[in-house]
Structure 1
Amino acid sequence: MSNPSTTSPPGADSDKLDSAVLKVAGVVVLGAIMSILDVTVVSVALPTFMKEFDTTYANVAWTMTAYTLALATVIPVTGWAADRFGTKRLYMSALVLFVAGSVLCSTAWNIESLISFRVLQGLGGGMLMPLGMTIMTRAAGPERVGRVMAVLGIPMLLGPIAGPILGGWLIESASWHWIFLINLPIGIVALAAAIKLLPKDNPEPSESFDFLGMLLLSPGLALFLFGVSSIPEEHTVAATRVLVPAIIGLVLIVAFVFHALRVKHPLIDLHLFKNRQLTFAVLTMVFFVIAFMGAGLLFPSYFLQVRGETTLSAGILLAPQGLGAMITMPIAGKLVDKIGPGKIVLTGIVVMVIGMAGFTQLTADTPYWLLLGALFVMGLGMGCTMMPNMTAALATLKDHAIAKGSTLMNIVNQTAGSIGTAIMSVVLTNQMQSRPLSGPAIAVQQDPSLADKLKLPAGAVETGLNQAAEAFSHTFTVAAVVLAVTLIPAFFLPRKRIVPTDVDEPAPALMH
């Protein structure tokens, strides 16, 4: 490809990020912030939706699941579309679709309409992250991938920190409509900046579109994630609603694998796995995201249910994790470009396991300084893990392979996140059910007026809250074990400066 946006700009090999790259990064970060914030902002609004639309938690949870399924459906097409239409045009189209979906969400008149508009929003949001990675990697060149990934990590930090705080504040001070309407001014600024600052597209005739691959992979991913996402609601993997779509989805995904290995231009290029470095980065990402996203669900739940905090307070209490990551992420980004990601990712995972160990010993009155300290330590480790690992996956790829690689990593990220959330939800639910006083105690914690109705014996609430804390600690232990397993594939990540290679060749062995 001779597309100017796919080649490294002058000075791409210099040590610092120049102003042109930083401007591109600013545009991408704006879009990514909207997409990621939207997940965490909506999560705190679920109780509000239950009250507003007079429906059950199981129904309002589909405002989250529908968005996730839409992401999974559109991500596989993004790599091909970026090559076919150009990253700038596609990125602007994704912004328009996402903002339009957001405005429509704010007009929802019942839960069904809100879920439908969330699908439209997810179709736009699903393209923003892989396109953003592609645009930034091409703009900076292979020598500076670590630093641009550190910049792209900013919205990944701001989402978990600012989302619950922003969502709680908007709902309490204005109305639930504003958790969607806030995307309108941000989207307009992002679109204007994209028009002015992103490199001009010059797309060439692209490889043929893999329609059969799309018909296999997109519905396959959506059905599989639908099944997995239904596990917490059904309380078992054996439920028909879980097994049937998940098995059909897996069959379609397996069929896609056989198809992709036979055709010349598949929707997702599985020949990327010939690159040993990308393969180990994908495996590291799978285990890391399962543990991290699963634990991310547990932290606010513990503060809300066991400690009786408000939504806004719970969001503020999670801030130390983001602050820790803000300290290490820029340092890790620079070091990755100089010494490779291997040592940095290994160090980050070990630090995260140490931090999560603090949550494996929870009680109903664990000191806040200990919890906040553990979150801060986890944040320090996270800043050394997620984006350096993403760098390991993409830094060896060239030109059009970057779009395919970033699409692949985003599919892995989305799928592993859904699996992690489902696993930890089921583990926690089962732990709670085995401790009969935990449910009533949490109910009284949320609404003290229920104490008389439930007629609990003296000391039952205190005992029940300790049982609930114990259930959380056991679930955090599962997350910590999965996180520790991440050390195995991370051990094989390169420990020297990364040298770009061709997509159809295995990456050079740079490990020891």
Structure 2
Amino acid sequence: MITTAGTRPGDTERIDPHLRTLAIVVVLGAIMTVLDSTIVNVAISALGKDFDTSLSTIQWVVTGYTLALSMAIPLTAWSVRRFGSKTMWLLSLGLFISGSLLCGVAWSVPSLIAFRVLQGLGGGMLMPIGQTMLAREAGPERMGRVMSIVSVPAMLAPALGPLLGGVIVDHLSWRWMFFVNVPFCVVALLAAWRMLPRDTERSPDASLDVLGMLLLSPGLAALVYGLSEAGNGTSLTGGRFVGSVVGGAVLIAAFLVHAVRKGDGALIDVRRLTTRAFTSATGGFFLYSLAVFGLMILIPLFARIVQGESALDSGWLLAPLGVGAMITMLVSGRLADRFGGRWPAAAGLVVVLCGALMLTSLDPSTGRAVIMSAMFVVGVGHGLIGPSLMAMSYQGLPREAVPAATTGANVVIRVGSSFGTAVSAVILQIGIRDKIPGASGNLGEAAGQPAALLSDAFTGTFWWLGAILLIALVPTLTIPRKVRSSQS
């Protein structure tokens, strides 16, 4: 009897060599694509100077990549059904490599933005495809440990991306931020070509839900764009913010109505995603992503605006988050496999909350050791949360629903992280205006304000993020107990 794909009854608790190899190939291919979400952030000023252009223009190098990622994710489930996991993995990685190489030789701002979009289209599907392959292969009994492995890029990128970008910008040309992807991804491409199993689960008759694509992908792009504009300091009453967010929300709502009516033929079959485990896990993940990405945006801003630190020194403050996450990541997977993900994730949220509360006492004279200690605590909780919640989102789903679940979860996390950036920036702007009468609250003008008052605005924002972490406990604690059952 076979209980899960490639797994015999006596082997359900063991990570066999085949599954381990698959996990390594997925991490090799995904890590640089996730790092590229944050690595360029510290190079914005260098890019603007090199191309002699404004901040509002050059920020599209970041925004264009993020929008392309968001638009590509919904295509994952259909493309895997139609062409197979291995084929789409190789194609996506090839697009990312091509985009990286072209970004490195870009001759103008429009060309760089266009090539970043190409990068994002390839990179956006890699993580969901990798998670789909691993979820199908692992089965429910080993999901936690496998998600721990595949979560490595997502856990480390927000901390290591700005740090790596700072090193490259300080010592090399900004072009090497893109060239560095090429050798790593070529190795990943060759490894995938040789080691990934042949595609055996294809549906040549799988049709693309064109209407769903025209509703969901632009809807996500508009929503993420509006949120990124708020994070960049755009007024909440401005036409770009209101139009983008409202338009995006309307398109997404229309997609949900369309998907319910269309059922199995929808771009994402949302009817399969109404299980309590999926709803609770992704709801908790959305709120957690909102809070933790807010923290990771605010810490470098605090160091630069309040304490006058350099870009590289500010990036170093996030490094302990990655160290803490590495310590607990593999443990959380084993705990989720054995006991379910509810309690590891809840414990992780409490630990992250403790780290966030440490940040509520910051002032201009606070030493680096205090901030780095707080981020280490956040990292310890971070490593417990991600793998546990991702594993539990698959609980109770049939094998054929895995691509839809993976796509849905990645969309929720992407929107949550974008929302966190925007919400944190908006709360901080309101805090600045409240603490400093007459101040505009615009982050670009904040550096000239009194450091002590700016510090109070930051700590007030940390309190709000702590409240969001507390709210995230509610859906997390409603995740059902893990049921050990076979999966056909």
TM-score (normalised: structure 2): 0.93
C-alpha separation in 1, matches of 2:6 and 2:209: 28
Change (3 A) 1:444 1:70: closer
SS in 2 for 1:384: helix
Unaligned 5+ segments in structure 1 are 447-460, 503-512
* Cα distance in 1 between the residues matched to 2:181 and 2:9: 35
Give the drift of 1:314. Answer: 2.2
Q: Deviations over 1:468-512 (max 9, x none)?
A: 22121111111111111101101111334554679xxxxxxxxxx
In 2, are the aligned partners of 1:432 and 1:468 still within 8 Å (CA)? yes
Q: Does 1:321 align with 2:307?
A: no
Of 94-103 and 249-258, the range deviating more from structure 2: 249-258
| Distance change in 2, residues 1:253/1:193 (3 Å) | same
Structure 1 pair 430–444 and aligned structure 2 pair: CA distance change class (3 A) = closer
Is 1:64 matched up with 2:50? no
Could you tell me how far apart the structure 2 residues matched to 1:400 and 1:100 are?
32
- In the comparison of the two structures, how many residue pairs are matched? 482
How many angstroms apart in 2 are the aligned matches of 1:443 and 1:57? Answer: 10
What are the equivalent positions in structure 2 for 1:226-241 lying under 5 Å apart? 226-233=225-232, 235-241=234-240
Q: Distance in 1 between matches of 2:483 and 2:113?
A: 46
- Identify which of 453, 475, 481 aligns with 1:489: 475
Identity of aligned residues (%): 39
Q: Are 1:374 and 2:360 an aligned pair?
A: no
CA separation in 1, counterparts of 2:11 and 2:183? 36
**TM alignment of 1:133-172, pairs within 5 A:** 133-172=131-170
Which residue among 164, 179, 182 is the counterpart of 1:181?
A: 179
With 56-65 and 142-151 compared, the bigger mean Cα shift is at 56-65
Q: In structure 1, the residue corresponding to 2:480 is in which secondary structure?
A: coil
Q: How does 1:222-371 map to 2 (within 5 A)?
A: 222-233=221-232, 235-264=234-263, 265-371=265-371
Of the candidates 96, 100, 103, which is equivalent to residue 102 of structure 1? 100
Contact 1:69 1:225 in 2 (8 A): yes
What letter corresponds to residue 491 of structure 1 in structure 2?
Answer: L
The 2-side partners of 1:301 and 1:335 are apart by 35
Are the aligned partners of 1:288 and 1:482 in contact in 2 as well (CA < 8 Å)? yes
The worse-fitting range, judged by mean Cα deviation, of 392-401 and 374-383 is: 392-401
Partner of 1:129: 127
| Mapped pair 1:44 → 2:42 | yes
Provide, for residues 141-198 of structure 1, a one-character-per-residue CA deviation record: whole Å limited to 9, x for no partner. Answer: 2211100100012112331232122111111221000000111101110100000111
2:193 corresponding residue in structure 1: 195
Shift of 1:96: 0.4
Alignment partners' CA distance in 2, 1:138 and 1:194: 17
Distance 2:10 2:315 in 1: 39
* Counterpart Cα distance in 2 of 1:185 and 1:415: 30
Distance 2:301 2:318 in 1: 11
Gapped runs of 5+ residues in structure 2? none
Q: For residues 267-301 of structure 1, give each alpha carbon's deviation from its aligned partner in whole angstroms, at most 9, with x where no partner exists.
A: 11111233111111121111111111111111122
Residues 206 and 12 (structure 1), Cα distance of their counterparts in 2 relative to 1, 3 Å cut: farther
Q: 1:435 deviation in Å? A: 4.4
1:28 match: 26
> Which stretch has the larger CA shift, 364-373 or 291-300?
364-373
Conserved? CA contact 1:235–1:429, under 8 Å: no
SS at match of 2:40: helix
Aligned to 2:207: 208
Distance 1:445 1:69, change over 3 A: closer
Report matched runs for 1:65-80 at 5 Å: 65-80=63-78
Q: CA deviation at 1:445?
A: 11
1:338–1:497 contact (8 Å) kept in structure 2? no
- In structure 1, the partner of 2:458 is 472
CA contact (8 A) 1:308 1:445 kept: no
Query: Aligned equivalents of 2:41 and 2:292: distance in 1?
Result: 17
Question: Which residue of structure 1 aligns with residue 83 of structure 2?
Answer: 85
SS of the residue corresponding to residue 262 of structure 2 reads: coil
C-alpha separation in 2, matches of 1:486 and 1:37: 26
Q: Which amino acid aligns with 2:481?
A: R
Aligned partner of 1:218 in structure 2 is 217
The equivalences for 1:344-493 within 5 A come to 344-436=344-436, 464-493=450-479
Q: Are the structure 2 counterparts of residues 110 and 338 from structure 1 closer, same or farther at C-alpha, using a change threshold of 3 Å?
A: same
CA contact (8 A) 1:337 1:497 kept: no
Question: Which range moved further: 45-54 or 311-320?
Answer: 311-320
Q: Deviations over 1:373-420 (max 9, x none)?
A: 211111111111112101000243232211110010011111111111
SS state of the match for residue 38, structure 2? Answer: helix
Moved more, 242-251 or 406-415: 242-251
Query: Is residue 140–residue 487 contact of structure 2 (8 Å, CA) maintained in 1?
Result: no
AA partner of residue 237 (structure 2): A
Q: 1:431 to 1:60 in 2, by over 3 A?
A: farther
Match of 1:510 in 2: none
Letter in 2 for 1:40: T
Shift of 1:234: 5.2
1:236, distance to aligned residue in structure 2 (A) = 2.2
By how many angstroms is 1:82 displaced?
Answer: 0.4
Distance 1:16 1:468, change over 3 A: same
How far does residue 443 in structure 1 lie from its aligned partner after superposition? Answer: 9.1
Q: What CA deviation, in whole Å up to 9, does each residue of 1:401-452 have, x standing for no partner?
A: 1111001001111111111111111222232344449999x99998xxxxxx
- The letter for the 2-side match of 1:480 is G
Contact 1:147 1:333 in 2 (8 A): yes
Structure 1's 362 and 269: CA in aligned 2 closer, same or farther, altered over 3 A?
Answer: same
**8 Å CA contact retained: 1:12, 1:141:** no
Distance 2:192 2:253 in 1: 38
| Cα distance change of structure 1 residues 76 and 133 upon mapping to structure 2, 3 Å threshold | same
| TM-score, length-scaled by structure 1 | 0.89
Distance 1:34 1:123 in 2: 14
Distance 1:12 1:259, change over 3 A: farther
Given residue 183 of structure 1, which amino acid in structure 2 is its aligned partner?
N
